[in-house]
């Protein structure tokens, strides 16, 4: 029969390794939440933006979106990408490119301490050049509704 000391000596390293595995797996999966993706066109011409979303190393969205040019009232056009990714934290990559350009721009989640959501926009300026923009939002303030642009110009622009 084993003594109590022998049993404790044998199980302590096992217990320590199990606990350290739990702690490291919690820390290594602390990614942000992918909130909303929007396309904003401040140019007078329409453009097509190609969007690919990978979540946990699986491509879950690959689609092209055409957006009209800025309206006669001077307001930017905004198109929200329908959510097809999980509404929970995870590793993601969002790839964007405009029209017939061959190079993709990639926005990638990173491990962070603390919880936040990320809203991504692809802004097309009045000169026809596109640039990705993103904003982090505290997870407690995050809502699923995609209705407030982070880059659109709601003010009428006189030309």
Q: Give tens-digit pLDDT for 37-46.
A: 999 999 999 9
Percent of the chain scoring above 90 in pLDDT: 47
Tell which wins on pLDDT, 142 or 63. 63
Please tell me the pTM assigned to this model: 0.74
SS3 126: coil
Phi/psi for 118 (5° steps) reads -125, 130
Distance CA 148, CA 117 (A): 14
């Amino acid at each position: 029969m084993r003594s109590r000391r022998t049993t404790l000596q044998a199980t302590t390293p096992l217990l320590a390794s199990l606990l350290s595995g739990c702690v490291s797996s919690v820390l290594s999966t602390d990614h942000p939440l992918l909130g909303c993706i929007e396309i904003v066109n401040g140019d007078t011409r329409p453009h097509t933006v190609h969007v690919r979303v990978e979540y946990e190393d699986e491509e879950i969205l690959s689609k092209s979106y055409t957006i009209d040019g800025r309206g006669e009232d001077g307001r930017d056009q905004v198109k929200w990408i329908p959510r097809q990714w999980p509404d929970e934290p995870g590793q993601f990559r969002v790839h964007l490119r405009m029209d017939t350009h061959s190079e993709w721009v990639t926005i990638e989640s990173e491990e962070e301490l603390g919880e936040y959501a990320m809203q991504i926009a692809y802004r097309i300026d009045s000169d026809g050049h596109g640039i990705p923009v993103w904003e982090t939002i505290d997870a407690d303030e995050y809502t699923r509704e995609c209705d407030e642009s982070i880059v659109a110009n709601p003010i009428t622009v006189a030309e």
